[in-house]
Amino acid sequence: MRAMAEQLVFYGSYPFVRHALVVGVLIALCSSLLGVILVLKRFSFLGDGLSHVAFGAMSLAAVLGLTDDMPLTLGITILCAVFLLRSGPNAKIKGDAAIAMLSVGALAIGYLLMNLFSASVNLSGDVCSTLFGSTSILTLSQREVWMCAGLSLVVVLFYLLFYHKIFALTFDEDFAKTTGIYVEAYHLLIAVIIAVVIVLAMQLVGSLLISALILFPAISAMRVFRNFRAVTICAAVLSVICALGGMLLSILIGTPVGSTIVMVDLLVFLAFSAIEYVRGGALR
């Protein structure tokens, strides 16, 4: 126990570790907020598809030899998000197929690009870390840390300022429209936010595990709480705790950051499901 604490203090003395922790918490916070919207709007699929697009875009950036891959990845992902969300709600089936094609296509193209053009000796290692995020959070540059922190704060601010509108239009889009909310404008904004969060979350857990980071806290919260505000707050708190716990754990026992965080998320989800089950039994 003592040794563990000492080890944590030792790691904590490095600025890059502290940065990683702060950024990780911020990213987890906005992922969970977004997750509430995606789950309730039945957009879960979209997050998954876009994370593959982000992978493709990142490979492209790597092949082009860009030192800072974030702007390109962000741009491409935002474009795809806007495209998918526009064709989404109106044409349900077409939307699903479009997401599937885009996501698998991007995955294939990304891997192909890396295979063909990568100068790296450790190709499978590169691919693996883009997909599962291994250590990337610890290797963020100062600039990337600021960028992540800034974008996260923008997402959180957006959520706070438009909280009631988000509720209205997730609960009942048609009614929201009749009260004069510009639903299309918000869809566009949400599309941009989704893309931003996915690119951020990719830094933390890698592209394959993003969905877990986004969806688990929201689904766990929905097991136990029965109103929108409680679900939102609970999801945010859970996500932050899980991310922090996961990151510390991964430092201590030397496991990959992304999968450790997701594992903690999963455990919490199981715990909350158990609570719901027990409570349901008591009610019956």
User: Nearest approach, Cβ of 106 to other proteins (angstroms)?
Assistant: 29
- Nearer to other proteins by C-beta: 123 or 157? 157
- Nearer to other proteins by C-beta: 89 or 245? 89
Termini Cα distance of the chain: 43
Kindly state the tokens that stand for 104.
Answer: 């698998």
Scan residues 21-40 and list those touching other proteins (CB under 8 A).
40
Scan residues 219-238 and list those touching other proteins (CB under 8 A).
222, 225-231
Scan residues 147-166 and list those touching other proteins (CB under 8 A).
160-165
Scan residues 174-193 and list those touching other proteins (CB under 8 A).
174-181
User: Nearest approach, Cβ of 171 to other proteins (angstroms)?
Assistant: 6
- Check if the beta carbon of residue 86 is closer than 8 Å to that of residue 187: yes
If binding is defined by CB under 8 A, does position 45 make contact with other proteins?
no
- Nearer to other proteins by C-beta: 58 or 221? 221
Residues 7, 258, 193, 269: is their CA dihedral positive or negative?
negative
- Nearer to other proteins by C-beta: 4 or 275? 275
User: Nearest approach, Cβ of 215 to other proteins (angstroms)?
Assistant: 15
Alpha-carbon distance of 158 to 156, in angstroms, equals 5
DSSP string of 115-162, one letter each residue: HHH---S-HHHHHHHHHH-TTGGGG--HHHHHHHHHHHHHHHHHHHHT
The count of chain residues that interact with other proteins, using the rule CB under 8 A, is 29
Please count the other Cβ atoms lying within 10 Å of the Cβ belonging to residue 90: 8
If binding is defined by CB under 8 A, does position 42 make contact with other proteins?
yes
Residues 234, 235, 238, 239: is their CA dihedral positive or negative?
negative
- Nearer to other proteins by C-beta: 215 or 257? 215
Of 40, 39, 29, give the one whose Cα is nearest residue 237. 29
- Nearer to other proteins by C-beta: 41 or 52? 41
Of 124, 147, 131, 111, give the one whose Cα is nearest residue 210. 131
Binding mask 110-149 for other proteins (x = CB under 8 A): ----------------------------------------
Backbone angles phi, psi at 121, to 5 degrees: -80, -25
- Nearer to other proteins by C-beta: 226 or 284? 226
User: Nearest approach, Cβ of 174 to other proteins (angstroms)?
Assistant: 6
Q: Is 125 exposed, middle or buried (0-12, 13-18, 19+ CB in 10 A)?
A: exposed
Under the rule (CB under 8 A), what is the footprint of other proteins?
40, 42, 160-165, 167-168, 170-172, 174-181, 222, 225-231
